[in-house]
A and B are shown apart, each in its own frame.
Chain A
Amino acid sequence: MTKFITKLLTISLLLAGMLVLSSCAGLGPVYQKVEMVPDNVGLVYIYRPSSFVGGGVSYDVKVGEIPITTLYNGGYYPYFSKTGEVEFWAKTESKSSVTLDIKAGQTYYIKGTVGVGFIVGRPHLMVISSEVGEKEIIECKLIPEEKK
């Protein structure tokens, strides 16, 4: 029985490792602050710190019905958003959403994670303060446009 559990654990760890590695492939350079924010828009950093849990799962983050990026493990995406009340959401087997009051020239941070699900990991979006977001995003890598 112990042998079986050890084998099962090894296989699941190997699979998880492979998924984590495969999901990281193709990400761009490490975080660089966006210096210029165009007029009349706000800057929203959508990021996902690298994590073992749900590392192989990626999901689309949308505004309305428009996907703005696919959030990969360890990735980030700077999004220039229209001002006003804007809802960002993601869905796999369950839906998660956050709403921001975007003001022109302001910067916001949305952190995505993956939680436990029945069949597939569930997305979880959170609004993070600038102080925390600035620190957590540092090790994330840019999600290229073609990976959107």
Chain B
Amino acid sequence: MKRNTSYAVLCLFFSFLFGCTAKMVVTPQMTLIENKDFHLTGKVIYDGNLEYLPRTITDDSSPDSILIFQYTYNVAYGRDNIPQLLPLYNPLSIVGFPIGEDTLAVVGKLDILKRKEVIKSYSSTCGLEKMRSLFSEGESFSELRKKGLIAVRDNIELQMYEDRNSLSQLN
């Protein structure tokens, strides 16, 4: 009974220590605003998933559009630095010690162009790190990527919202 309790305590200890949810850092740091009632219209140049496009820009492909928005993102994957053999012979693996690590960085960039000239740029970076243990694999790379792309999108929206007074004069 006592041995079982010690085992459970150890498992809990390592689970809390290393956690199973991903650590996420987004830069630049912005204050969260729930209701971002602001958007600009113009021609959008972007061929990816619309879910990752900042919602502060709306596509207007008419020839009269003054503004052009060019959105790009890049996803970089880190390498797992924990040797594959280590967890196999590490007795602590059975109590939740990490057996692997996943890292990922997402960079998003929005260029606002007027008469083919970049007049304003916004960029955001999101770093994600997650430990894997025998008890929890946590989020997959696909889920981390999505989380990062959405965090970057939200961050650029917030940056634009902060500049809303100057940006609204561009249209």
Contacts and interface: CB of A to CB of B under 8 A. Distances in A.
Contacts, number: 61
B146 A99 contact: yes
B142 A89 contact: yes
A113 interface: yes
A113 B93 CA distance: 18
A98 B76 CA distance: 12
Interface string A91-119: 00011111101000000000001111110
B126 to A, nearest CB: 15
Q: How large is the interface on A (under 10, 10 to 19, 20 to 34, 35 or more residues)?
A: 20 to 34
A116 B142 contact: no
A53 interface: yes
Contacts of B60: none
Q: Is the interface of B mostly helix, strand, loop or mixed?
A: mixed
B77 A117 contact: no
A127 B105 CA distance: 12
Q: Which of B85, B100, B142, B146 has the most CB of A within 10 A?
A: B142
A86 to B, nearest CB: 10
A96 B99 CA distance: 14
Contacts of A22: none
A116 B88 contact: yes
A114 B99 CA distance: 11
A118 B93 CA distance: 10
Interface stretch (B34-42, B132-140, B160-168): B132-140
A117 B88 contact: no
Contacts of B85: 52-53
A40 interface: no
Contacts of A53: 84-85, 88
B48 A85 contact: yes
Q: Which of A89, A113, A115 has the most chain B CB within a 10 Å cutoff?
A: A115
A98 B77 CA distance: 10
Nearest to A128: B77
A115 B141 contact: no
The 9 closest A-B CB pairs, nearest first, are A97-B142, A99-B142, A97-B140, A53-B84, A116-B87, A98-B141, A94-B137, A127-B77, A116-B99
25 contacts: A51-B84, A53-B84, A85-B48, A85-B49, A89-B140, A89-B142, A94-B137, A95-B140, A97-B141, A97-B143, A98-B145, A99-B141, A99-B145, A101-B48, A101-B75, A113-B84, A115-B87, A117-B134, A118-B134, A124-B80, A125-B141, A126-B79, A126-B80, A126-B141, A128-B77
